[in-house]
Homo-oligomer: A and B are copies of this chain.
Amino acid sequence: MDLSDTSSARSSSLDDLEIIEPLCAVFRRRLKAEGLKYTPERAQILDAILSMDDVFQADRLLESMKGQGFRVSRATVYRTIKLLEDAKILQQVLVDSEQAHYQLAYGTHSAGLIVRTDTHEISSIEAPGLLELRNKVCAELGLKPEGHRFVIYASAKPAPDA
């Protein structure tokens, strides 16, 4: 199963489609291309993901869905997340070694994240030059870059008084 295939009639990348085509349509198309089915559960899960924070965890997603009255099983949530990863709609981000975190892959976040060590909030950041740095390093080593990730850990500054 390779949902990342882009050699269909519309071969544009996700980046191009995000604005003009809703993600659910992208997903549906990728599924069909693999002979897989676009079920209500999968639609609901993608929908719920769109209403989550930038970076979320599978368990929180399930929790959120249950809170909204959806009846999905944990297994289906995990299975669908995996499908969305395969389809390059979702990507895993490594924040800590506890639970997997995910974020939408469209919009070409510069793969930069800032993790608040005090509040545990996570957000994407603009960190220019990473791509170039990555490519330079890979070129020097004679390797083909596949991806990269930059995570900053930070906390609130101490009160400026005293």
Residues of B within 8 A of A116 (CB): 143
A133 partner, pick from B95, B129, B153, B155, beta carbons under 8 A? B129
Number of copies: 2
A65 to chain B, nearest CB (A): 22
Cβ–Cβ contact A148 & B156, under 8 A: no
Assuming the A-B contacts A127-B137, A137-B127, are A151 and B148 also in contact, with contact meaning beta carbons closer than 8 angstroms in the complex?
Answer: yes
Cβ–Cβ contact A145 & B138, under 8 A: no
Residues of B within 8 A of A158 (CB): 144
The chain B residue sitting closest to A148, CB to CB, is: B152
Cβ–Cβ contact A157 & B133, under 8 A: no
14 contacts between A and B (CB under 8 A): A114-B141, A116-B143, A125-B141, A127-B137, A129-B129, A129-B133, A133-B150, A143-B155, A143-B156, A144-B155, A146-B153, A148-B151, A148-B153, A150-B151
Cβ–Cβ contact B154 & A146, under 8 A: yes
Interface residues on A, range: 35 or more
A→B interface (CB under 8 Å): 92, 94-97, 100, 112, 114, 116-117, 125, 127, 129-130, 133-134, 137-138, 141-158
Residues of B within 8 A of A156 (CB): 143-144
Residues of B within 8 A of A143 (CB): 114, 116, 154-157
A145 partner, pick from B127, B141, B153, beta carbons under 8 A? B153
A96 partner, pick from B94, B117, B144, beta carbons under 8 A? B94
